[in-house]
Amino acid sequence: MKSVSPKELVEHHSPLYRRIELDLRERVQRGQWPAGYMLPSRKSLAQEYGVDMRTLQRAIGDLLADGTLTAHGGRGTFVAGSSSSTNSEQPRAANSLTNTIAIIAEQSFSPGPTWLATIQTVHEAVRKSLPDAQIITLNTYDRTPEGVARHERNALEIVENERLAGVIMAHAGGAETLPDIRRVLATGVPIVFIDRLPFDRGCDFVGIGNRFAAQDLVEYLTSIGHKRIGFLAPDETVTTIEDRLAGYHDAMRTAQLDSPEEYIFRLPLARSYAMESLKREINRVAS
Protein backbone atom coordinates (compact mmCIF):
# COMPACT_ATOMS: atom_id res chain seq x y z
CA MET A 1 0.00 0.00 0.00
CA LYS A 2 1.41 3.35 -1.08
CA SER A 3 2.26 5.87 1.61
CA VAL A 4 0.01 8.91 1.53
CA SER A 5 1.56 12.30 2.16
CA PRO A 6 -0.36 15.08 3.92
CA LYS A 7 -0.63 16.96 0.60
CA GLU A 8 -2.04 13.90 -1.20
CA LEU A 9 -4.56 13.40 1.58
CA VAL A 10 -6.26 16.68 0.79
CA GLU A 11 -6.78 15.56 -2.81
CA HIS A 12 -8.88 12.53 -1.83
CA HIS A 13 -12.67 12.75 -1.52
CA SER A 14 -13.30 11.04 1.83
CA PRO A 15 -13.54 13.15 5.01
CA LEU A 16 -10.21 14.65 5.97
CA TYR A 17 -10.08 13.03 9.38
CA ARG A 18 -10.71 9.62 7.78
CA ARG A 19 -7.84 10.10 5.33
CA ILE A 20 -5.54 11.01 8.20
CA GLU A 21 -6.71 7.94 10.12
CA LEU A 22 -5.85 5.69 7.14
CA ASP A 23 -2.40 7.23 6.83
CA LEU A 24 -1.68 6.79 10.54
CA ARG A 25 -2.94 3.22 10.38
CA GLU A 26 -0.61 2.50 7.46
CA ARG A 27 2.37 3.72 9.47
CA VAL A 28 1.52 1.08 12.07
CA GLN A 29 0.85 -1.69 9.55
CA ARG A 30 4.07 -1.25 7.62
CA GLY A 31 6.12 -1.14 10.83
CA GLN A 32 7.16 2.50 10.71
CA TRP A 33 5.52 2.77 14.11
CA PRO A 34 6.12 -0.61 15.84
CA ALA A 35 4.29 -1.96 18.88
CA GLY A 36 5.05 0.16 21.93
CA TYR A 37 6.07 3.20 19.85
CA MET A 38 4.99 6.51 21.37
CA LEU A 39 3.36 8.76 18.79
CA PRO A 40 4.52 12.33 18.23
CA SER A 41 2.51 14.92 20.13
CA ARG A 42 -0.97 15.74 18.87
CA LYS A 43 0.20 19.29 18.18
CA SER A 44 3.08 18.18 15.95
CA LEU A 45 0.86 15.71 14.05
CA ALA A 46 -1.77 18.41 13.51
CA GLN A 47 0.94 20.68 12.12
CA GLU A 48 2.26 17.88 9.88
CA TYR A 49 -1.16 17.32 8.30
CA GLY A 50 -2.10 20.99 8.29
CA VAL A 51 -5.31 20.49 10.27
CA ASP A 52 -6.78 21.72 13.51
CA MET A 53 -6.54 19.71 16.72
CA ARG A 54 -10.15 18.59 16.54
CA THR A 55 -9.71 16.93 13.12
CA LEU A 56 -6.54 15.21 14.32
CA GLN A 57 -8.30 14.08 17.51
CA ARG A 58 -11.13 12.47 15.49
CA ALA A 59 -8.62 10.51 13.41
CA ILE A 60 -6.75 9.26 16.46
CA GLY A 61 -10.01 8.56 18.28
CA ASP A 62 -10.98 5.90 15.75
CA LEU A 63 -7.60 4.19 16.13
CA LEU A 64 -7.99 4.23 19.90
CA ALA A 65 -11.50 2.80 19.62
CA ASP A 66 -10.44 -0.22 17.56
CA GLY A 67 -7.36 -0.95 19.68
CA THR A 68 -4.70 0.04 17.14
CA LEU A 69 -3.49 2.71 19.56
CA THR A 70 -3.71 2.99 23.33
CA ALA A 71 -3.63 6.20 25.36
CA HIS A 72 -2.07 6.48 28.80
CA GLY A 73 -3.01 9.66 30.63
CA GLY A 74 -0.02 11.87 31.32
CA ARG A 75 2.33 9.62 29.32
CA GLY A 76 1.19 9.77 25.73
CA THR A 77 -0.38 7.69 22.97
CA PHE A 78 1.25 4.36 22.02
CA VAL A 79 0.93 1.73 19.34
CA ALA A 80 -0.83 -1.18 21.03
CA GLY A 81 0.72 -4.60 21.50
CA SER A 82 3.72 -3.83 23.70
CA SER A 83 3.92 -5.03 27.27
CA SER A 84 6.51 -2.42 28.10
CA SER A 85 4.63 0.80 27.40
CA THR A 86 2.71 0.69 30.67
CA ASN A 87 2.41 -1.71 33.54
CA SER A 88 -1.40 -1.56 33.44
CA GLU A 89 -1.39 -3.62 30.25
CA GLN A 90 -0.29 -6.58 32.34
CA PRO A 91 -3.27 -8.79 33.22
CA ARG A 92 -2.30 -8.98 36.88
CA ALA A 93 -0.56 -6.91 39.49
CA ALA A 94 2.76 -8.32 40.62
CA ASN A 95 1.46 -9.08 44.11
CA SER A 96 -2.01 -10.25 43.05
CA LEU A 97 -3.40 -13.38 44.69
CA THR A 98 -6.37 -13.70 42.33
CA ASN A 99 -7.42 -13.32 38.72
CA THR A 100 -10.32 -11.10 39.82
CA ILE A 101 -10.91 -7.65 38.33
CA ALA A 102 -13.18 -5.14 40.07
CA ILE A 103 -15.43 -2.62 38.37
CA ILE A 104 -15.92 0.33 40.73
CA ALA A 105 -18.59 2.74 39.52
CA GLU A 106 -21.48 4.79 40.78
CA GLN A 107 -24.75 3.96 39.04
CA SER A 108 -25.54 7.52 37.97
CA PHE A 109 -22.41 7.29 35.78
CA SER A 110 -24.73 5.42 33.42
CA PRO A 111 -28.23 5.90 34.88
CA GLY A 112 -31.34 3.87 34.28
CA PRO A 113 -31.50 0.77 32.10
CA THR A 114 -28.16 1.59 30.46
CA TRP A 115 -26.35 0.76 33.71
CA LEU A 116 -26.64 -2.99 33.19
CA ALA A 117 -25.81 -2.63 29.49
CA THR A 118 -22.68 -0.65 30.35
CA ILE A 119 -21.50 -3.21 32.88
CA GLN A 120 -22.19 -6.04 30.44
CA THR A 121 -20.12 -4.29 27.77
CA VAL A 122 -17.18 -3.99 30.17
CA HIS A 123 -17.52 -7.67 31.11
CA GLU A 124 -17.45 -8.70 27.46
CA ALA A 125 -14.38 -6.60 26.74
CA VAL A 126 -12.48 -7.99 29.73
CA ARG A 127 -13.32 -11.60 28.90
CA LYS A 128 -12.20 -11.12 25.31
CA SER A 129 -8.65 -10.41 26.54
CA LEU A 130 -8.71 -12.45 29.76
CA PRO A 131 -11.10 -15.41 29.33
CA ASP A 132 -10.35 -16.81 32.80
CA ALA A 133 -10.79 -13.53 34.66
CA GLN A 134 -13.37 -13.23 37.42
CA ILE A 135 -15.21 -9.89 37.47
CA ILE A 136 -16.96 -8.25 40.41
CA THR A 137 -18.99 -5.05 40.26
CA LEU A 138 -18.88 -2.70 43.24
CA ASN A 139 -21.64 -0.11 42.83
CA THR A 140 -20.87 2.99 44.92
CA TYR A 141 -24.26 4.63 44.41
CA ASP A 142 -25.70 6.66 47.26
CA ARG A 143 -28.10 9.57 47.67
CA THR A 144 -25.37 11.88 48.95
CA PRO A 145 -21.80 12.70 47.82
CA GLU A 146 -20.58 11.68 51.28
CA GLY A 147 -22.20 8.28 50.89
CA VAL A 148 -20.64 7.76 47.45
CA ALA A 149 -17.21 8.60 48.85
CA ARG A 150 -17.71 6.15 51.73
CA HIS A 151 -18.73 3.34 49.38
CA GLU A 152 -15.83 4.09 47.05
CA ARG A 153 -13.38 3.99 49.95
CA ASN A 154 -14.80 0.63 51.04
CA ALA A 155 -14.52 -0.73 47.51
CA LEU A 156 -10.88 0.30 47.26
CA GLU A 157 -10.25 -1.34 50.64
CA ILE A 158 -11.66 -4.60 49.24
CA VAL A 159 -9.30 -4.35 46.25
CA GLU A 160 -6.33 -3.80 48.53
CA ASN A 161 -7.20 -6.43 51.14
CA GLU A 162 -8.10 -9.12 48.61
CA ARG A 163 -5.13 -8.21 46.38
CA LEU A 164 -7.22 -8.20 43.24
CA ALA A 165 -5.64 -8.27 39.80
CA GLY A 166 -6.90 -4.89 38.59
CA VAL A 167 -9.59 -2.23 38.70
CA ILE A 168 -11.78 -0.46 36.15
CA MET A 169 -13.02 2.65 37.89
CA ALA A 170 -15.40 5.56 37.30
CA HIS A 171 -14.11 7.78 40.10
CA ALA A 172 -16.95 9.60 41.88
CA GLY A 173 -15.64 10.05 45.43
CA GLY A 174 -13.99 13.41 44.85
CA ALA A 175 -10.96 14.55 46.79
CA GLU A 176 -11.91 12.40 49.79
CA THR A 177 -10.91 9.13 48.12
CA LEU A 178 -7.77 10.33 46.31
CA PRO A 179 -5.48 9.07 49.12
CA ASP A 180 -7.16 5.65 48.89
CA ILE A 181 -6.62 5.54 45.12
CA ARG A 182 -2.96 6.49 45.50
CA ARG A 183 -2.49 3.80 48.14
CA VAL A 184 -3.96 1.09 45.88
CA LEU A 185 -1.83 2.24 42.95
CA ALA A 186 1.25 2.12 45.17
CA THR A 187 0.62 -1.59 45.84
CA GLY A 188 1.02 -2.30 42.12
CA VAL A 189 -2.65 -2.92 41.35
CA PRO A 190 -3.36 -1.33 37.93
CA ILE A 191 -6.36 0.97 37.67
CA VAL A 192 -7.95 2.10 34.41
CA PHE A 193 -10.15 5.17 34.90
CA ILE A 194 -13.34 5.74 32.94
CA ASP A 195 -14.77 9.15 31.99
CA ARG A 196 -12.63 11.28 34.30
CA LEU A 197 -9.08 11.48 35.58
CA PRO A 198 -8.48 11.84 39.32
CA PHE A 199 -4.91 13.13 38.81
CA ASP A 200 -3.27 15.26 36.15
CA ARG A 201 -0.64 12.70 35.18
CA GLY A 202 0.29 9.03 35.35
CA CYS A 203 -3.19 7.49 34.95
CA ASP A 204 -4.49 5.05 32.37
CA PHE A 205 -7.74 6.45 31.05
CA VAL A 206 -10.64 5.70 28.69
CA GLY A 207 -12.95 8.57 27.80
CA ILE A 208 -14.05 10.99 25.11
CA GLY A 209 -12.65 14.32 23.98
CA ASN A 210 -14.88 16.41 26.24
CA ARG A 211 -13.35 19.72 25.19
CA PHE A 212 -13.92 19.05 21.50
CA ALA A 213 -17.41 17.68 22.16
CA ALA A 214 -18.41 20.88 23.98
CA GLN A 215 -17.02 22.92 21.12
CA ASP A 216 -19.14 20.94 18.65
CA LEU A 217 -22.27 21.50 20.74
CA VAL A 218 -21.77 25.26 20.96
CA GLU A 219 -20.91 25.50 17.25
CA TYR A 220 -24.13 23.69 16.40
CA LEU A 221 -26.16 26.11 18.53
CA THR A 222 -24.50 29.14 16.96
CA SER A 223 -25.01 27.68 13.48
CA ILE A 224 -28.79 27.73 14.00
CA GLY A 225 -28.78 31.28 15.28
CA HIS A 226 -28.41 31.08 19.07
CA LYS A 227 -26.25 33.73 20.73
CA ARG A 228 -27.02 33.50 24.46
CA ILE A 229 -25.67 30.06 25.34
CA GLY A 230 -25.19 28.90 28.92
CA PHE A 231 -23.25 26.11 30.61
CA LEU A 232 -24.80 23.93 33.32
CA ALA A 233 -22.90 21.28 35.26
CA PRO A 234 -22.51 19.98 38.81
CA ASP A 235 -20.21 22.04 41.01
CA GLU A 236 -17.55 19.37 40.94
CA THR A 237 -13.86 19.75 40.06
CA VAL A 238 -13.30 16.84 37.71
CA THR A 239 -11.57 16.68 34.34
CA THR A 240 -14.78 15.81 32.49
CA ILE A 241 -16.54 19.00 33.54
CA GLU A 242 -13.51 21.26 33.39
CA ASP A 243 -12.70 20.11 29.84
CA ARG A 244 -16.28 20.73 28.73
CA LEU A 245 -16.22 24.20 30.26
CA ALA A 246 -12.97 24.97 28.45
CA GLY A 247 -14.49 23.79 25.16
CA TYR A 248 -17.54 25.96 25.78
CA HIS A 249 -15.34 29.03 26.27
CA ASP A 250 -13.22 28.12 23.20
CA ALA A 251 -16.26 27.98 20.94
CA MET A 252 -17.84 31.13 22.38
CA ARG A 253 -14.61 33.05 21.72
CA THR A 254 -14.39 31.67 18.19
CA ALA A 255 -17.97 32.82 17.56
CA GLN A 256 -17.10 36.20 19.10
CA LEU A 257 -19.87 35.78 21.65
CA ASP A 258 -19.83 36.78 25.31
CA SER A 259 -19.75 34.10 27.99
CA PRO A 260 -20.10 36.11 31.23
CA GLU A 261 -20.17 34.48 34.63
CA GLU A 262 -23.96 34.70 34.75
CA TYR A 263 -24.07 32.25 31.83
CA ILE A 264 -22.23 29.62 33.89
CA PHE A 265 -24.50 27.60 36.19
CA ARG A 266 -22.90 25.19 38.64
CA LEU A 267 -25.38 22.98 40.45
CA PRO A 268 -24.52 22.06 44.07
CA LEU A 269 -23.30 18.50 44.01
CA ALA A 270 -25.79 17.21 46.59
CA ARG A 271 -28.71 18.49 44.51
CA SER A 272 -27.30 17.08 41.26
CA TYR A 273 -27.63 13.59 42.78
CA ALA A 274 -31.43 13.96 42.93
CA MET A 275 -33.01 13.72 39.48
CA GLU A 276 -36.01 15.90 40.38
CA SER A 277 -33.74 18.66 41.67
CA LEU A 278 -31.69 18.41 38.50
CA LYS A 279 -34.79 18.72 36.30
CA ARG A 280 -36.00 21.76 38.25
CA GLU A 281 -32.60 23.43 37.91
CA ILE A 282 -32.48 22.81 34.16
CA ASN A 283 -35.96 24.31 33.77
CA ARG A 284 -34.98 27.33 35.89
CA VAL A 285 -31.85 27.98 33.83
CA ALA A 286 -33.67 27.54 30.53
CA SER A 287 -36.57 29.85 31.47
Q: Which residues pair with 206 in a beta bridge?
A: 194
CATH topology of domain 210-286: Rossmann fold (3.40.50)
CA distance 135 to 126: 8
Closest alpha carbon to 52 in 17, 3, 77: 17
Q: What is the pLDDT of residue 128?
A: 82
pLDDT, greater one: 253 or 91: 253
How many angstroms from the chain centroid is the CA of residue 281? Answer: 26
State yes or no: pLDDT of 285 exceeds 90.
no
For the structural domain made of 87-206, what CATH number should be given?
A: 3.40.50.2300
How many angstroms from the chain centroid is the CA of residue 153? Answer: 22
Matching CATH topology for 87-206 and 210-286? yes
State yes or no: pLDDT of 264 exceeds 60.
yes
Give 180-186's long-range contacts (Cβ < 8 A, gap of 24+).
180/152, 180/153, 180/156, 181/156, 183/156, 184/156, 184/159, 184/160
**What ranges do the domains of the chain cover?**
6-79, 87-206, 210-286
- Mean pLDDT over each residue of the chain, to the nearest integer: 79
Q: Whole-prediction pTM value?
A: 0.58
Residue-wise pLDDT for 139-172, tens only, equals 888 878 889 899 999 999 999 888 888 899 988 8
For the structural domain made of 6-79, what CATH number should be given?
A: 1.10.10.10
State yes or no: pLDDT of 83 exceeds 50.
no
